[in-house]
Structures are given as C-alpha cells and as structure tokens.
Amino acid sequence: MSTHTPDRPRRRGRPPKDSARPYAETRNALIQAGLAVLTEKGYSSVGIDEILRSVGVPKGSFYHYFKSKEVFGQELISAYGLYFARKLDRFLLDDSLSPLTRIRHFVQDASQGMARHDFRRGCLIGNLGQEMSLLPESFRAQLKEVFEDWQARTASCLRDAQACGEVAATLDPDQLAEWFWTGWEGAVLRAKLEASSEPLERFTEGFFQLLQAHAGR
C-alpha cells in the first residue's frame, strides 16, 4: 500500500487541464504520505523530500502546496486528529452494542492497525508529544486539543456506560477518559518497543478490570 507512484515523468510548467490530478488530490496524497511517515518516525528526523518522493511530487513543488514544513505538520496533526475522531465515533456511537463493548471494539481495531504495520507506526499525537522539545511551539496547543477531543468522545461513551449500569456512577468519566488515553499512549510505546500487541491488550484488560472493580462495590 505504498503511495509511491512512478507515474508519468512530470514535465515542467503548467500541466494540461485534464492529465494532472487536481491540486486538492495531490495535496491530499502528500498529507496521507506524511501521516504514514510521521506516525513511524516523528517530525524532526524526517525530511520533506522523503515524503515528496514517496508521492512522486518533485521537491520544488512543496511550497506550492504548503507554506512551510511547520504548517504541513500542523495540517498533519489536525488530519490525524480528525481521522481518529471519526474512527472513535464510528465505534463509540454504535448503539447496537453496549458502551463498554464499543470501547473494546475500538481498542481491538486500533491494535490491529498497529499490527498491520508490524508495530512500527504508533500514534502521531503521542510521537509528537514525546519530541515536543524539538518541535515548533505552535504544535503544543494543537496536540493538547486533539487529546482533549478524543477524551471528550471517550468520556461521553463512559457516561452511556454509567447510564446503563456498566460502570459505577461514582466514577468520574472525564477522569477515566483522560486516564485511558494516558495509559493507552504508554501502551502504544511499549507495543512499538516489544513489536507486539500484548502491551495494548494487557493495558486495556487492566482498564476494564478497574471499571469492573468499582462497579462491583
């Protein structure tokens, strides 16, 4: 599924009206390729031409699509944030399942995603958070917001779980959600290290045990 397109050898100058994929499409391909690379290697140790080359876009064109590497990064963050927000919704709003089962399914899906790339790719947001000290300061707030967004969606599902008695009403869903995401990022890190999904599984198992323990009181 490499996005590499050895295509037609690109000519200079304005492309004929039809032959070229439209601006938006190329831009999109760049973002896609950027995500693939940055989820694996982070931001600072990746050069733009690695991404450019993987899409078959000449280096000179980069600034036609993005003002700088920094704003490219910003766009990757929000694309990734959105991508996951949608994924979360797809799972967590599926009311054919009990709320906790929805979370379980989400986790399963994410874990399969990592396995599919041999545990080389992790979470973009986690990666960048980790290397924050090497990053443009503008990334910080954005990354924080993404976490908050994911957490809000998760908390809402946990509230549903409380409503139907799957989780004790005494627990704070927001705290639980923050907890979940903090732990999850740690688990992703260990999964990359061990090249195995076990850390992910063990972490989530523990998380559900926690919910259960309280429910049982």
Site for DNA in 100-159 (CB under 7 A): none
**Contact partner at residue 14 from its own copies, DNA, none, CB < 5 to 8 Å by partner kind:** DNA
Distance CA 168, CA 162 (A): 6
44 lies in the binding site for its own copies (CB under 8 A) = yes
The residues, any chain, with a CB within 8 Å of residue 77's CB and separated by 6 or more, are: 124, 125, 128, 139, 142, 143, 146
HSE, side-chain direction, 13 A CA sphere, residue 170: 8
One of 20, 40, 61, 87 touching its own copies (CB under 8 A): 40
Binding mask 114-153 for its own copies (x = CB under 8 A): ------xxx---xx-xxxxxx-----x--xx--x------
CB of 150 to its own copies, least distance (A): 12
194 lies in the binding site for its own copies (CB under 8 A) = yes
Q: Structure tokens of 15?
A: 């492309």
Among 47-55, 65-73, 87-95, 202-210, the segment contacting its own copies (CB under 8 A): 202-210
Q: Which of 39, 114, 22, 111 is nearest to 73 (CA)?
A: 39
CB of 214 to DNA, least distance (A): 47
Residue type, 149: D
One of 48, 77, 125, 167 touching DNA (CB under 7 A): 48
75 lies in the binding site for DNA (CB under 7 A) = no
